A and B are shown apart, each in its own frame.
Chain A
Amino acid sequence: MGDFFEFKNIEKYFGDQHIVKNVSFGVRCGEIFSLLGPSGCGKTTMLRIAGGFEDPESGEVFLESKDITKTVPNKRKINTVFQNYALFPHMTVWDNIAFGPRTAGIKEPEVSRMVSKMLEIIRLEGHGSRKPDTISGGQKQRVAIARALINNPKLLLLDEPLAALDLKLRQYMLLELDRIHDEVGTTFIYVTHDQGEAMSLSDRIAVMNNGVIEQIGTPAEIYENPRTKFVASFIGDTNFFDGKIIDQIDRENCKIEMNGLGEFPSFNEHKLASGSKVTVSIRPEKFRIFDRKYEAENLNMFEAEVIDIVYQGAQTRYWVRARDHRINILTQHNRCYLDSKQPTWGDKVWVAWHRDDVTTIPEETPH
């Protein structure tokens, strides 16, 4: 049994460019599902296929288990919030929002009631008679959302809805979007290249790159257990080390030789065999810095030299060098670990991490 909304084996070419490569995934009812990826990865194309504005070369689209691949956009119970809002410039805010219900042939008193309710939800009561040119970017954004939601879509598609807004407004609109989602309960598919937006808003994220879904999961899963090198580097900061598995310790853990830094016990999520080459990813905040070698269970350590320190208030970012590696470390100001002494430029320090805080990514990423 399928999900609420489903893509099955979607293929799309533009000319000889292979934009979407055999993509399948499902979206659950009521969730905010993000398609996250760099520009040109095919995420907007997926959204346009969902909206019916592009036909896939092959594959099917299902909404509530009904095949809608061939359904024209105006017959789909799906609405879109376009990237640059696409508000009708010759109509007032009110008429823009009323466009869908009027087109559907709903009687004017009912339309009027619906529009008033929508204006209330987006908190723009009293702006109904304004033209789109005369309201701010954030207000346009909310009108675009209201214009889509008034049709009671089963699915709302949002194409980089915050890209045109400045940082402050973006943060505010994120909260607004979350609030509106809670209020209406519609399923959202949210396309963005901004990992911060995706992380803070989504129930689940699909990370897309080069026309392929690299990983689907909750924000925490994606961040803590990236399945590919691309996901690890695209979501948050990380340090990569080339390594090789030299021994299995038990069912969960193995010993990895980390490019001259030493041999370290590591969590082996993908159950990789001994001898296989791996990329080890360790997030900056997983490291801790000690001024001497420190013995603790399952704690790995190597010696390094501090080359740069950036104090950022809530945290401090260290750049340390160990052999050929420049390693990025983020620490909270927990002096207990350091015996009150802060490392400074040129200090020899010991860099430590827990063996479970490692992501081992197989050399050839599975697609």
Chain B
Amino acid sequence: MGKKISHLGARCAGVYGSLKEFLLTAPSFLWLVVFFLIPSILVFAIAFRSADSSGSIADTWTFDTIRNVMRSDYLGVLWRTVWVSCVSTLICLLLGIPVGYWIAQQKPQYRYWFLLIVIIPLWTNFLIRIFAWRVLLHPEGFLRQSLLWLGIIPDDMFLLNNVGAVIIVTVYTCLPFAILPIYAAAEKFNFALLEAARDLGATRFNAFKNIFIPGIRRGIFTAILVVLIPALGSYAIPDLVGGVNGEMLGNKIAMRVSANRNMPEAAALAAFLSIIITVPVLLFMLKQKKLIKAVISTKHGGDDRK
């Protein structure tokens, strides 16, 4: 009898516990549903509506917008968006990994100063920093004039209002966000492993490539996500420094919303962009899940043997 009661008690506690859990997560869940899930579904839905001439959404369904969005000039912008983002991410990694590696090897009391130096630019407003880049990259600006004077670039090369400027400024903006997760992973890395690799005959570069990079791969994955996603959706940077040839998908969406008042087309482009972003993230999460599962199963295996 006593046993039954205690069993019942446990079950009550379980129900009560899960209710508490539900109540605790409900606000954030509700927030996500109202402000993220429903709007996303609406955006996807609007993409299949037709537009009327007054700039609002008509109440008939159509595939025309989607077909329209598949036009080659859009695909050109889409392609540019993807490759500019990927190149920016790659450069961020190429710059961020050595920096994270270097900071993690400094004495602990100095590391935080170096991290501070990485973060300090973020204290200035994002737009102000981009305008500062406009000044720097301007044809009469300091950077181009010095490079011309040094004879590094030809006379007909301009630094502003092209894809190059978009990449430079995107890298500049995203680099701190790439360095931080890489540093966090590098700080936990056991640097004796690099000595072990050297001891076993690996060159400095091979030890870095085969031992350090796999050792901080989680940090690198995170860095890719935090750089690639904002870069794919970026709007302000191409708008301010990209010029006509530096336009990205974000600018097209903005134009359809504000100048052209063609909501369905804007929605279709936005949906397109979210798919581009979601697919790699989902792939990554699946990989992570496998990773987590692998860790759990090996842990269990280890316990079983003990």
Give residues in A with beta carbon < 8 Å to B: 51-53, 72-74, 78-80, 82, 84, 86-90, 99-100, 103-104, 131, 133-134, 147-148, 151
Is the beta-carbon distance between A73 and B198 smaller than 8 angstroms? yes
* Given A74-B203, A99-B200, A103-B200, also A86-B301 (CB < 8 A): no
Q: Which of A72, A86, A133 contacts B196 (CB 8 A)?
A: A86
19 contacts between A and B (CB under 8 A): A51-B195, A51-B199, A52-B198, A53-B198, A73-B198, A74-B200, A82-B195, A82-B196, A82-B199, A88-B197, A89-B215, A90-B214, A99-B197, A103-B201, A103-B206, A104-B201, A134-B298, A134-B302, A148-B200
Q: Report if B277 contacts A (CB, 8 A).
A: no
Asked if B192 lies at the interface with its beta carbon under 8 angstroms from chain A, I say: yes
CB neighbours of A78 from chain B (8 A)? 199
Bound form: Cα–Cα A345–B298 in Å? 59
B32 interface residue per 8 A CB criterion = no
Chain B 16-53, CB within 8 Å of chain A: the 1/0 string? Answer: 00000000000000000000000000000000000000
Chain B residues whose C-beta falls within 8 Å of the C-beta of A82 in the assembled complex: 192, 195-196, 199
Contact residues in B for A147 (Cβ distance below 8 Å): 200
Add 5 more A-B contacts to A99-B200, A103-B202, A147-B200 (CB < 8 A): A73-B199, A82-B195, A86-B193, A89-B193, A133-B302
Contact indicator B192/A86 (Cβ below 8 Å): yes
Distance from A152 Cβ to chain B, minimum over Cβ atoms (Å):
11
Whether A53 contacts B195 in the complex (CB less than 8 A), given A99-B200, A133-B302, A134-B301, comes out as yes
Binary A-proximity of B184-218 (CB < 8 A = 1, otherwise 0) = 00000010110111111111001000010011010
**Chain A residues whose C-beta falls within 8 Å of the C-beta of B214 in the assembled complex:** 90
How far, in angstroms, from A97 to B121 measured CA to CA in the complex?
A: 46
Query: What is the CB-to-nearest-CB distance from A133 to chain B, in angstroms, rounded to a whole number?
Result: 7
Residue of A53, A100, A133 near B201 (CB, 8 A) is A100
Closest to A99 in B: B200
Q: Give chain A nearest CB distance to B47 CB in angstroms.
A: 43
Docked-complex contact A133 and B203, CB < 8 angstroms: no
Q: Give bound CA distance, A148 to B201, whole Å.
A: 10
Q: A133, B199: Cβ atoms under 8 Å?
A: no
Q: Which 9 A-B pairs have the closest CB atoms?
A: A86-B196, A100-B200, A73-B198, A103-B201, A86-B192, A90-B214, A134-B302, A80-B199, A74-B201
Which A residues touch B201, using CB under 8 A?
A: 74, 100, 103-104, 151
What chain A residues lie within 8 Å of B199 (beta carbons)? 51, 53, 73-74, 78-80, 82, 148
Contact B301 A84 (CB under 8 A): no
Residue of A nearest to B194 (CB): A86
Q: Check if B211 sits within 8 Å of A88, measured CB to CB.
A: yes
Q: Are A74 and B195 in contact (CB under 8 A)?
A: no
B191 nearest in chain A by CB position: A86
Which residues of chain B are within 8 angstroms of A74 by Cβ–Cβ distance?
Answer: 198-203
Q: Which residues 58-79 of B have a CB within 8 angstroms of A?
A: none
With A73-B195, A84-B192, A90-B215 known as contacts, the answer to whether A79 contacts B200 (CB < 8 A) is yes
Q: Which residues on A sit within 8 Å (CB–CB) of B301?
A: 134
Which residue of B190, B196, B215 has the most chain A CB atoms within 10 A of its CB atom? B196
Per the bound structure, the CA–CA distance linking A39 and B86 in Å amounts to 51
Q: Chain A CB within 10 Å — which of B193, B197, B199, B302 has the most?
A: B199
B172-193, CB < 8 A from A: 190, 192-193
Q: Which residues of A contact B193 (CB under 8 A)?
A: 86, 88-89
From residue B254, how far is it (CB to closest CB) to chain A in Å? 43
Q: Once bound together, how far apart are the Cα atoms of A78 and B195, in whole Å?
A: 13
* Nearest B residue (CB) for A84: B192
User: How far apart sit A80 and B206, CA to CA, in the bound complex (Å)?
Assistant: 18
Bound together, the chains give a CA A80 to CA B195 distance in angstroms of 9
Decide if B302 touches A80 in the complex (CB within 8 Å): no
> B196–A80 contact, CB under 8 A?
yes
CA distance A84 to B206 in the complex (A): 22
B206 contacts across to A, CB distance below 8 A: 103
**Which B residue sits closest to A72, measured CB to CB?**
B198
Considering the chains assembled together, what is the distance between the CA atoms of A321 and B288 in angstroms?
Answer: 70
B196 touches A88 (CB 8 A): yes
Binary CB contact string for chain B from 130 to 144 against chain A (1 if under 8 A, 0 otherwise): 000000000000000
Q: Give complex CA distance A51, B201 in Å.
A: 12
B273-306 vs A, Cβ < 8 Å mask (1 yes, 0 no) = 0000000000000000000000000100110000
What residues on A are CB-neighbors of B192 within 8 Å? 82, 84, 86
User: Which of chain A's residues has its CB closest to B193's CB?
Assistant: A86
A84 to B195 CA separation, bound complex (whole angstroms)? 12
Chain A residues with CB under 8 Å of B198's CB are: 52-53, 72-74
Distance A313 CA – B305 CA, assembled complex (angstroms): 37
Q: Can you list, as one digit per residue, whether each of B219-231 has a CB less than 8 Å from chain A (1) or not (0)?
A: 0000000000000
A52 to B195 Cα, complex, angstroms:
10
Q: Which residue of chain A lies nearest to B200 when distances are taken between CB atoms in the complex?
A: A100
Nearest CB to that of A97 among chain B residues?
B200
A53 CB to closest chain B CB (Å) equals 6
Q: How far is the CA of A74 from the CA of B202 in the complex (A)?
A: 6
Question: What distance in Å separates the Cβ of B259 from its nearest Cβ neighbour in chain A?
Answer: 51
* In the complex, residue of chain A having the shortest beta-carbon distance to the beta carbon of B298: A134
A312 CB to nearest B CB, Å: 34
Instruction: Report B161 CB to chain A, min CB distance, Å.
Output: 45
The answer for the CA separation of A51 and B199 in the assembled complex, in Å, is 7
Q: Which residue of A lies closest to B213 (CB)?
A: A90
State whether A131 touches B200 (Cβ < 8 A). no
Chain B residues contacting A88 (CB-CB under 8 Å) are 193, 196-197, 211
**How far, in whole Å, are A293 and B298 apart by their CA atoms in the complex?**
70
* Distance between Cα atoms of A53 and B192 in the complex (Å): 11
CA distance A73 to B203 in the complex (A): 9
Candidates A52, A103, A104, A133; contact of B298 at CB < 8 Å: A133
- In the bound complex, what is the Cα–Cα distance between A78 and B211 (angstroms)? 20
Question: B302 to chain A: which residues have CB within 8 Å?
Answer: 133-134
Question: What chain B residues lie within 8 Å of A89 (beta carbons)?
Answer: 193, 215
C-alpha gap A104/B196 in the complex (Å): 15
